[in-house]
Amino acid sequence: MRLHHLQVQALQAFATTAEVDFDALSEAGLFLFHGETGAGKTTLLDAVVLALFGKLPGARGTDARERADLAAVDLPTRVVLELTLRGERLRITRTPRQERRKQRGEGTTTVPPTVLLEAIAADGTATAVATRVEEVQHEIDRLLGMSREQFCQVVLLPQGQFATFLHAASDAREELLARLFGTERFEHAERWLTERRKKVEEELRGTRETLRDSASRLAQVLATEAPEGWEDDPGLLTAWADEAQVLADADRATAEGVCGDAATARAAADAARGEVQELVARRARHARAVAELAAFEAGTPARDAEATRLERARAAAPVAPLIAQAGAAADEARAATGAATAACAAAGGAEPVPAALRAAAGAARTSAGEVAALAPVEARVGEREEALRQATVEAAAHAAELAEADEWLERAAGRLTELEAAVATSRLALAQRDDHARAARAALTRQEAAEARDRAQARRAVEREQALGAKSDELEVTEQWLGLREARLEGMAAELADTLEADCPCPVCGAVEHPEPAAHRLLGRVTAEAEDAAKRQVDEARAALAAAEAKLAATDREIAAAAAVAGEEPVHALVALAAAAAAQARDTEQAALAAPGAEAALGAFAAERVAHEASRGTAGEARAAALARAEELTAALAEEQAQLAAARAGAPTIAARVAVLEERASALDAAAAAVEQAEAATRAAGAAADRAGTAAVQAGFTGVSDAAAAVLGAAEVATTEARIRAHDEGLAERRVLVADPELVAAAAAPEPDEAAAMARSREATAAVAEAERALERVRGRGEQLTSLRRELERRVAAYGPAAAEAATVRGLATLVDGTSAQNRKRMRLRAYVLAARLEEIAAAASERLGRMSDGRYALALDDDRASRGRRSGLGLRVVDGWTGQDRHPASLSGGETFMASLALALGLADVVAAESGGARLDTLFVDEGFGSLDERALDKALEVLDRLRDGGRAVGVVSHVAELRQRIGAQLHVVKDREGSRVVQTV
Amino acid sequence: MRFLHTADWHLGRSFHGASLMDAQARWTDWLLVTAREAKVDAILVSGDVYDRALPPVDAVRLASETLARLVEVAPVVLISGNHDSPTRLGFGAELFARSGLHVTTDVARVGAPVLLGDTAVYGIPYLEPDVARPLLDVEDRGHGPVLDAAMARIRADLADRAAGTRSVVLAHAFVAGGEASESERDLAVGGAASVPASVFAGVDYVALGHLHAPQRVGERGRYAGSPLAFSFSEARHRKSVALVDLGTGIPEVELVACPVERGLAILRGPLEALLADPAHAAAEAAWVQVTLTDAVRPVEAMARVRDRFPHAVVLSFEPEGAAALAENSYAVRLRGLDDRQLAAAFVEDVRGEGPSDAEQALLDEAFLAPRVAEAVR
């Protein structure tokens, strides 16, 4: 088992998420979880157990809450562990039972625990393997091979409980080791033996039962009890059975003798009886014969009478057929007469006179012909009725149409008025449209003019200012210029003086000498240029002034023009006016636009109205036509129907009437024929009767009836002849018998005593029967006895080996499961096999323990019997090298116990790894315990752990001991903050 | 220049439970005397001053006194070893430097030399690979890369100095080919504990610490070795400190043997023989490791051994009849037996006699039947 990565979320001390990279930690081989008390170091290990088994280790599994108290309500408690088990890389995500905020409504709801087991492929993709708690547990169980309790003894040594495995009782240790080393086949063998034992003992009990059954049956047959103590020695039963057999044989011999005697006696009695019976029979026969003879003789007259009868019958034979014929003819005649009567009745009770009947038939046929002629009329009537119905319907329909049209026209009146009004409005609007538009434009113009006027006025103000300014400038500049000119003029003298040159005449006075030319003033000299410049300025100012004034004038003009248009009214009033005019113009425009539409609507409506009126007219006409037609038809119908009714005379149709008449005619014809027939038959019958009478008289009879009486059937003739014969024969026989001498003699002899002879014979038979019954009984018993005895022998023979086998199996089974008294060590087979393992584990542990204790302590297997009958064989004891005494592990000090437990855990992992069927325990966690070691022991323990790094194993240590922080490089610091703990990993 | 090279004091260490404090105190006295007499220019201590990261109070006191006195003789250059806590040992390093005690425990200061005359002395504290990697900007894991990086810095600094500057490097590592004893802590990281000697090339002398046996490493390197024996595997060592004369060529090394207060003796034999044999008289005053070869463990063995050898600290057993005894063990008896043989052995063992034929047949069936049932299923 190798852990790769752990992520805990909202678990106990960790309010948020913390992650542990076990791969990085394991690479270092030895790593340390450290932090303040209560920071959550143990929680991280608990999280591993929680992920694997769904429960926290030890007692905390039932009591502690997993949820972090400081976690946010929306952050679920969750553990995700990625690890490799038996070569398969898995990821387990588990959330314990916890409260979650309800999605709807206030408060929290409890969600049940969930788990997800995924297999991680080499490329990192995850496939879900199982999501139900039981399935996941099953998988983990199979791969890990340990339960939670066992895991916490072997892989994770929990705080304060590291010595569980060291101190465990033999059977608990056995359980753990059995799971780790896969000794199932020994358990199976043990179980098999136990079951076998049960089976064999069951069979043995069965065998004993059958034996008991045999014995009791035998006891019943023999009417004696089975001998005591046969359960232990079945041989007693056989002896008992043999004795009984001998007695039975003797009994049978006696019974056979008795039987023989009785048989002889009976034979004699039977012979005597036979004779007597013979005599009696003969006498009886004779008596009978005499009696019979008398009877026969008495019957002779009867025989003679019969003979006479026979003769007469022979004579009547030829007459018989004629008689028969006469009878038949008479019958025929009767029948025909009957038929004729019936036919007359059927034909309407007419007289049975053929001619009349036929005449009536002819008459009926004639009337039928007349009625048939009216058939077409009938048809026509049908048609006319149909037409009448149709016409009526049509009239109704047209009436409806008419009503509809009337209604519509009523409504139309109002609508028309509306449409006309609309048209008028729109026409008006059309007329006014242009005016209003113009008015609107004018108003707008005025408004704009007013605005322009206002703007111009505003401008004017400014321009006036400007003009004034320009004016003042001009004045100023002019003044300056004038000033300058004056100054220049004042200095003209000097100026002129400048132009003076020596010997050039002065422009003023013409002198050539210039003794004191005027000098310029020092200040305020104004040159011509200056004056010119000033003049220019003046000109400019004047120009500017002119421009400004011109602009002002222009603006004034503008104002005037605008005012002319707009008048003096303020802008806002004009704006309002313009808006109103515009609105009016718009409305008018819209109304005008609607004009064509209104006109069109009116036109359309008018057209519709016309159409409706037209249809109304047509409907009225049609209706009238239909009504007229109906009247016609009704009249015609009345006439014809009266005619038909008369002709039909009660029949539904003409055809029916015709049929009736025809029928009558044919019936009459038939009646006529029948009557004729009857007359003929009667005549024939009379003739036959005459013939028969003649023949009878000829044959000697008085008449037909006499002859008929004398007739005898053939069978009767035969029987009569036979009777006569029998009588004759019998008579002859009896005569013979009566004359027999033997019988005569027997009759003459005295009467024998039959009863006595019978009685004797019966007695003898009874005796024989009884003797035979007795023999049967004896024989029966003998056979029963024999078969029971054989059966008993068989069963006794089978019992022995069965008992022996049962003993063997019982002995072995109890030996193997450790409960037998013969098992000196009270050790079961599985424990025996595991003892070797435990020895190896102890040896591996001792190597490390020796190093930790400077060679003083070692662990060894202790296979002595445990106390109080508990199974044993897997005890551990501590061997103290220095004293040579062995100590019980419980007698070690706290620190020594820790060292021993650690060594044991390491040794166990070593041995398990070497075992081919066992799980690899590559990771080991030790939670605290190092605090109980002194410095030297701590050193040694760390040395031992250090060496593990080479073996590819990883040991995680949780400890607060400061020295470890220095010694162990790979560390996980669990920091306790106010908001919960977090994890800082330094590798 | 003349140096005294020592290392691996391990102050505070105990020898199989017995305190070495007094012996170590006396040794430090001897060291002072030796250093003074040899008139050394500097004293090099190559790591493992203490035995533990949090040393006992006595050890701290002893170290404090010793260093104070050593500094009066000559400047001391000291690095932390794998047993020391670098931060704790480096307390006040800058302050001490002014007094002549140069403590290099900070990885960041690797490459900054202590200049003594024309010699640059560089100290490389013990580099825990995973901790030193980020500080030295090294990608690969292991002792080799981090030492390479440290040496690179040193060579770079040396290159900046005047030509002819001699260089000495103190380091605490396991150089391949060195002889280890039982008392050194394993340095292996990812399986590799050692570095090749070539790592230190380009330096005039490498003063190494960590291995407790005094030994040379090439022509220019040396492990000073521990002052005292810390395990019985060191029984044959001759403990010493090295006086190194650094000239222009190969450094000359003179060994000064450390005084041995209590020797080590390893004894083996039956108890009675050991107690009686006069040949072992010398061991009576020494630390003794006893291996008893009696077939049966003697009672109160340790007590009796200590009667004659009061300083017996390790006692182990290798019974001569070991083969016979082991044969009785389950492991040996049951090794290689298949299931039915195991069952037969079990019956014999717990009952006293082996299974009869009928019983053996039953046992065979007992093992076969479940397998068959499995196969059928």
Percentage of residues in chain A having pLDDT higher than 90: 3
Residues of B in contact with A177 (CB under 8 A): none
A573-610 tens-digit pLDDT = 888 888 888 888 888 888 888 878 888 888 888 888 88
* CA separation for the pair A343, A337 (Å, rounded): 10
A782-811 residues touching B, CB cutoff 8 A? 805, 808-809, 811
Determine the 3-state secondary structure of A718 from DSSP: helix
- What pLDDT, on a 0 to 100 scale, did the predictor assign at position A950? 65
Residue keyed to tokens 């949820």: A67
**Of the partner residues B314, B315, B366, the one whose CB lies closest to the CB of residue A192:** B366
CA-wise closest residue to B255 among B285, B214, B288: B214
- How would DSSP label each residue in A239-259? HHHHHHHHHHHHHHHHHHHHH
pLDDT higher than threshold 90 for residue A43:
no
pLDDT digits (tens, 9 = 90+) for B81-92: 999 999 999 999
Which H or E run contains A787?
helix A754-816
Interface of A with B in 6-45 (CB under 8 A): 27-28
Q: What is the rounded average pLDDT of the residues B205-223?
A: 92
Confidence band of A715 (pLDDT split at 50, 70, 90): confident
The answer to whether B83 and B185 have CB atoms below 8 angstroms apart is yes
Give the CA diameter of chain B.
97
Question: Which of A836, A850, A949 is facing B331, going by the closest CB pair?
Answer: A836
* B190, pLDDT greater than 60: no
| Predicted confidence (pLDDT) at residue A716 exceeds the cutoff of 80 | yes
Closest Cβ opposite residue B359 in set A808, A881, A947: A808
pLDDT of residue A346: 78
- Pairwise CB contact (< 8 Å): A882 & B14: no
Residues of B in contact with A884 (CB under 8 A): 297-301
With both helix axes pointing from N to C terminus, report the angle between A300-316 and A235-298 in degrees, rounded to the nearest 10. 70
A–B CB contacts, 8 A cutoff, strictly below: 145
Among B186, B315, B347, select the one facing A882 at the smallest CB separation: B315
CB of A845 less than 8 A from some CB of B: no
Q: What is the DSSP string of A631-654?
A: HHHHHHHHHHHHHHHHHHTT-SSH
Average pLDDT over residues B11-20: 88
Please say whether the beta carbons of B305 and B271 come within 8 A: yes
Query: By CA distance, what is A939's nearest residue in B?
Result: B52
Measured between CA atoms, the residue of chain B closest to residue A187 is: B367
Q: For A899-927, what is the HEC assignment? A: HHHHHHHHHHHHHHHHCCCCCCCCEEEEE
Residue range A31-58: mean pLDDT, rounded = 86
Report the SS3 class of residue B90.
coil
User: Could you tell me which residue, A782 or B155, shows the higher pLDDT?
Assistant: B155
Give the gap in angstroms from C-alpha B118 to the nearest C-alpha of chain A.
37
CB A181 within 8 A of CB A154: no
pLDDT the model gives residue A572? 84
With CB atoms and an 8 Å threshold, state whether A854 touches B330: no
Q: Do A946 and B330 touch (CB under 8 A)?
A: no
Instruction: Give the residue from chain B lying closest to A934, CA to CA.
Output: B17
- Is the pLDDT assigned to residue A71 strictly greater than 80? no
Residue of B nearest to A874 (CA): B330
pLDDT of the residue at A350: 67
Asked if residue B181 lies in contact with residue B134, where contact means CB atoms within 8 angstroms, the answer is: no
Q: How many CB atoms lie within 10 A of CB A435?
A: 12
Does the distance separating the beta carbons of A812 and B347 come in below 8 Å?
A: yes
**Distance between CA atoms of A304 and A298, rounded to whole angstroms?**
12
Q: Which of A809, A850, A855 sits opposite B362 (nearest CB)?
A: A809
pLDDT reported for residue A6: 93
A185 touches chain B (CB under 8 A): yes
Restricting to A residues 859-878, those with a Cβ less than 8 Å away from any Cβ of B are 861, 863
CA angle centred on A680, ends A679 and A681, rounded to 5°: 95
Report the pLDDT averaged over residues A707-722: 82
Nearest-angstrom CA–CA distance, A832 and B349: 9
pLDDT number for residue A473: 87
Chain B residue numbers with beta carbons less than 8 Å from the beta carbon of A960 are none
CA distance A205 to A882: 60
A528-539 confidence digits (pLDDT tens): 788 888 888 888
What domains sit in chain B, N to C, each tagged with a CATH number? 2-257 (3.60.21.10), 264-324 (no CATH), 329-376 (no CATH)
Contacts with B, A 529-548, CB within 8 Å: none
Written as one string, the DSSP assignment of A669-705 is HHHHHHHHHHHHHHHHHHHHHHHHHHHHHHTT-SSHH
Average pLDDT, chain A: 83
Question: Considering the entire predicted model, what is its pTM?
Answer: 0.53
User: How sure is the predictor about B10, in pLDDT bands with cuts at 50, 70 and 90?
Assistant: very high
**Phi, psi dihedrals of residue A66, rounded to the nearest 5°:** -80, -25
Chain B residue at shortest CA distance from A951: B191
pLDDT digit string, tens, across residues A809-858: 888 888 888 787 777 777 888 888 888 888 888 888 888 888 888 888 88
The enclosing H or E element of A90 equals strand A88-95
Q: Which A residues in the span 453-482 are in contact with B, Cβ-Cβ below 8 Å?
A: none
Kindly report which listed range (A20-24, A576-580, A950-954, B303-307) carries the lowest average pLDDT score: A950-954
Q: How far is CA B236 from the centre of its chain?
A: 15
* Residue contact B366–A946, C-beta within 8 A: no
Residue A233, min C-alpha distance to chain B (Å) = 24
Confidence class of residue B324 from pLDDT cuts 50, 70 and 90?
very low
Q: What are phi and psi of A13, to 5 degrees?
A: -75, -15
- Average the pLDDT over each of A289-303, A852-866, B124-138, B154-168 and give the range with the smallest value: A852-866
Q: Do B342 and A833 touch (CB under 8 A)?
A: yes
Which of A101-105, B177-181, B359-363 shows the lowest per-residue confidence on average (mean pLDDT)? A101-105
The reply to whether residue A884 touches residue B297, judged by beta carbons under 8 angstroms, is: yes
Q: Do B54 and A963 touch (CB under 8 A)?
A: yes
Is the pLDDT score of A196 beyond 80?
Answer: yes
Candidates B330, B337, B363, B374: best to mutate against A (most CBs of A within 10 A) is B330
Bridge pairing between strands A857-862 and A875-880: antiparallel
Beta carbons of B52 and A27 less than 8 Å apart: no
- Cβ distance B339 to A186 less than 8 Å, yes or no, reads yes
Cross-chain CB nearest to A836 (options B186, B334, B356): B334
For position A865, what pLDDT does the model report?
65
pLDDT at residue B258, as a whole number: 93
What value does the mean pLDDT of chain B take?
87
Q: How far is CA A719 from CA A306, A317, A716, A730, in A?
A: 11, 17, 5, 16
**Is the pLDDT reported for residue B221 higher than 50?**
yes
Mean pLDDT throughout B8-32? 92
Nearest residue of A to residue B88 by CA position? A966
Which residue in the block uniquely carries the two structure tokens 């001498």? A741
Per-residue DSSP letters for A499-531?
A: H--TTS--TTT--S--SSPPPPPSS----HHHH
How far apart (Å, rounded) are the C-alpha atoms in residues B7 and B122?
Answer: 15
What pLDDT, on a 0 to 100 scale, did the predictor assign at position A290? 84
Which residue would you say has higher pLDDT here, B247 or B216?
A: B216
- Chain A residues whose beta carbon lies within 8 Å of the beta carbon of residue B191: 950
* Residues in chain B closer than 8 A to A861 (CB atoms): 329-330
pLDDT tens digits for A755-770? 888 888 888 888 888 8
Q: What is the pLDDT of residues A912-967, one digit of tens each?
A: 777 655 566 778 888 888 888 888 888 888 888 877 766 667 888 888 888 888 88
pLDDT at A355: 80
Q: What is the pLDDT of residue A36?
A: 84
